[in-house]
Every structure is written in C-alpha cells, then in structure tokens.
Amino acid sequence: MAFRADEARSDGYEHARNYLISRNIDLEESARSHDALLDMIDSYGPVVDAYPHWHPLVSSHPDCQNPITHPQRDCGYEGLDHTVYFANAFVTCPYDDGQDVIDAVNRLPHHRVARICAERLEVQLYHSSANPILVTCQWSQLLPMDGMIPKSWAVPLILEREMPCWTSAQLAETWETMRPYLLGRPHGSRSSLFINQETGQAIKSIWNALINTGMFGPIRTDFAHRP
C-alpha cells in the first residue's frame, strides 16, 4: 500500500485520542486533555509508531548492531508506561509520580544538535490516576517550515550511528531492510513523518554507496530483517 502522509497523520491522531483520552478520564477533564493532545501535535509533530534509530530521542545507547526505535531502558529511560510517540516528543503516563522518568532524562548524555527535556503535565491522560510526563526533543535550531528533519542533520546522525559498525559487521543490510530504521515508522519508499522525499532519497543514495563499498561485508540477499 502506498504511503500517504496525511492519512498516516490522521490515523496516528485517532490512535492517540482513543488511547490517551479514554473513559477512564474524568468527563469534566476530557476537553482539557484533548486540548493538551492537540497542543503536543502542534508543537512536536504528528503521532508516529517508531523513531529512526538515529533520532536523538532513542540514540543514547552504545550498541550499533542492535538499533533501537522506541524509548526504553536500553537508551537511558526509566519508568515509562502507557506511552504515545510524536515526531519530536513522547508522552508517558505512569501511575507513580513520574520522578524516575524525569531523573533518567536528566541523566541522558549531551547531544550535539538537540536537548532532551522532561516535564509534568497538569492534565489527565490515559487514566485519571496516571501522572503524564512529556519528554521533548528540543533541536538546537528551528526545523524547516515543513517540520521535517533536514538532511544536513539526518545524514551525519546516520553516519555517526552506522560507521562504527564496520568493525564488527558481517553482512550489509539492504535499503529495503534498513528503511524502518533509517526513516522511522510509518514510512514510504523514501519518506516518512520525519523526513521528506528529498532527504529520503539522499539517505537512500548514501546507504547504497556505503554497502556497495563492502565495508559491512557481503550484501545480505536472504531478505531477513535485521534483529
């Protein structure tokens, strides 16, 4: 099925609304909860399924052989529960006070082009007893008008994650296998809710040039997905 960005944005919004603003939310608070959701989408981009493995929100882990596309303990987070992802933020709704989330974010290593921050939200999300924490990726410069990550950031961040793998890699993964890790999800053949077609084509060209050097080993032909 062809990738339709508008449809993917709409589907993501519906999922987030149904998940975060459920019947477990006090009726008189649900309007404020919905406004908060719309504010997060407006400020931090559309709801997404997974991040590119080079995105600052998930790239704080040392193992280049096992790319991570969801915020989790392996990339420095603690206490996440009932989480919804946006292009440049995520909201998590633990039943405790969320201090573990905030402390973990404060311990994350410095990033060259972004700052990761956490704050408590004074609204009800997921459940009236949960305590939502918003974790944001604050880029060092404003994103372009289309809200997409420019290739001047995406390409070096990809190279920074992938180049160290040449010393231990045994097989090179094809573009088809790597697309979810390089583009994020949902995605099309060369674009996603994170990057536009121009950037996606640049990433594809660079990836194919890398694997064709042989630096990662022979190109895998069995079409098995990377673990």
Q: Is 61 exposed, middle or buried (0-12, 13-18, 19+ CB in 10 A)?
A: middle
Shared-domain flag, residues 112 and 184: no
pLDDT at position 2 is 63
Q: Which residues contact 1 (CB under 8 A, 6 or more apart)?
A: none
Could you give the CA distance from residue 92 to residue 73 in angstroms, rounded to a whole number?
A: 14
Shared-domain flag, residues 83 and 181: no
pLDDT at position 44 is 97
Shared-domain flag, residues 167 and 67: no
Shared-domain flag, residues 163 and 203: yes
Structure tokens, 113: 């082009």
Shared-domain flag, residues 126 and 198: no
Residue range 100-105: average pLDDT?
A: 98
Shared-domain flag, residues 79 and 30: yes
Domain that holds residue 187: 151-212
Could you give the CA distance from residue 108 to residue 111 in angstroms, rounded to a whole number?
A: 9
User: Which band of pLDDT confidence, cut at 50, 70 and 90, is reported for residue 223?
Assistant: low
**pLDDT at residue 225 greater than cutoff 80:** no
Q: Is 207 exposed, middle or buried (0-12, 13-18, 19+ CB in 10 A)?
A: buried
Shared-domain flag, residues 163 and 111: no
Helix axes 197-212, 175-183, angle to 10 degrees: 130
Shared-domain flag, residues 186 and 108: no
Total count of domains within the chain? 2
8 Å CB contact between 83 and 130: no
Shared-domain flag, residues 101 and 196: no
Structural domain contains residue 224: no
Mean residue pLDDT of the chain comes to: 93
**pLDDT at residue 1 greater than cutoff 60:** no
User: Which band of pLDDT confidence, cut at 50, 70 and 90, is reported for residue 65?
Assistant: confident
Structural domain contains residue 219: no
Last residue of a domain, one of 117, 139, 161: 139
Helix or strand holding residue 136 (H, E): strand 133-139
Last residue of a domain, one of 139, 167, 198: 139
**pLDDT at residue 185 greater than cutoff 90:** yes
pLDDT at position 226 is 47
Structural domain contains residue 227: no
pTM of the model: 0.94
Structural domain contains residue 45: yes
**pLDDT at residue 64 greater than cutoff 80:** no
Shared-domain flag, residues 62 and 108: yes
